Each structure stands twice: as C-alpha cells, then as structure tokens.
Copies of this chain bind each other. A is one copy, B any other.
Amino acid sequence: MNESESTALMSLLRTQPVASLATLHKGAPAVSMVPFALLPEGAGFAIHVSRLATHTQDMLANPAVALLVTAPLAAADSPLALPRASVQGRARQCATDSPGYEQARQAYLARLPDAEPLFSFGDFSLFVIEPESLRHVAGFGRAMSLAGEQMRAVLRQAD
C-alpha cells in the first residue's frame, strides 16, 4: 500500500464515527450500526455496546466479527465507487480493570464525546475489535488487502 492509499484509508477511518458491525447470530449473519474509534498503536477499534443488545450477546457467544466503514455519498461521483474499508477480526470485552481499558475509553470518548453518560450505565461495556485482515476499496476496481504487521503499520498512522 503506497502513501496516498494509506492516507486515504486512514482519513476514512478517522473521519467516519460509525461502522457496520457484522456478528454471528444463531448461525446466521447479522449487521448493526456501531459508533467506533480507532485505538492507538494499530491495536484496532473500540466500540461501546449494551449487554441488552443482540450484537453484544452475539460477540460474547462468538468473537468472530467484521466491521465496515463507508465514506459518505459526497465522497464519490457514483454510489458504486464509494470508498470503504472492511475488517475481519475478533471482538474482546475490555473489562474496566484490564490494562488497555483507560486508553480505549479515552480514544472512544475523544471521538464520541456524546457517549460519556453511557459509561455510567451498568449494562454498557467497551469491546476491542482486533483486526486480522483489512480490505480497502478506494474506488471502482481499486481494492487492496492487508494483514498482519503490514496492516498494523498502516493503522498505527492514527497515533
């Protein structure tokens, strides 16, 4: 991935505050909207979800998830060519006393300050989505896949 491609990818991930989260629900795929924030050090994505929500139960039952971030319609001449990034990864609940909690909470609230009151709700908790692979479609027919250290090196540009 060259510099202009990674700049475009990081701009997409930094400017869009919501993603589509795919989970496995009783053996079938399900998809819901989640506000998200990029974590420092290429560690992935933080989401803050309610235990009462189906996607949370899904992640606790099966940590395999996927996340899609799509650019707004104004970003391309045609909806067919909208830039987007999708991630395959694993969701891990981040307990309030775990080492990465405070960093994830700060990254999330820096991006989504409106969520602050939800941190006092007992049913909400932070999950970290650790990416295993990432696919960036920059436009029509312009797709690129990343994984492992190459992917983390690009995501670390958020720092």
Binding site for B on A (CB under 8 A): 17-18, 20-25, 27-33, 35, 64-68, 70, 72-73, 78-80, 82, 84, 86, 88, 112, 114-115, 118, 137
- Determine whether the beta carbon of B28 is less than 8 Å from that of A84: no
State how many copies of this chain the complex holds: 2
**Most interface-central of A35, A67, A80 (chain B CB within 10 A):** A80
- With a cutoff of 8 Å between Cβ atoms, the chain B residues found around residue A137 in the complex are 33
Contacts of A114 in B (CB 8 A): 78-80
- Shortest Cβ distance from A21 into B: residue: B31
The answer to whether B31 touches A66 (Cβ under 8 A) is yes
B24, B79, B88, B118: the one within 8 Å of A35 (CB): B79
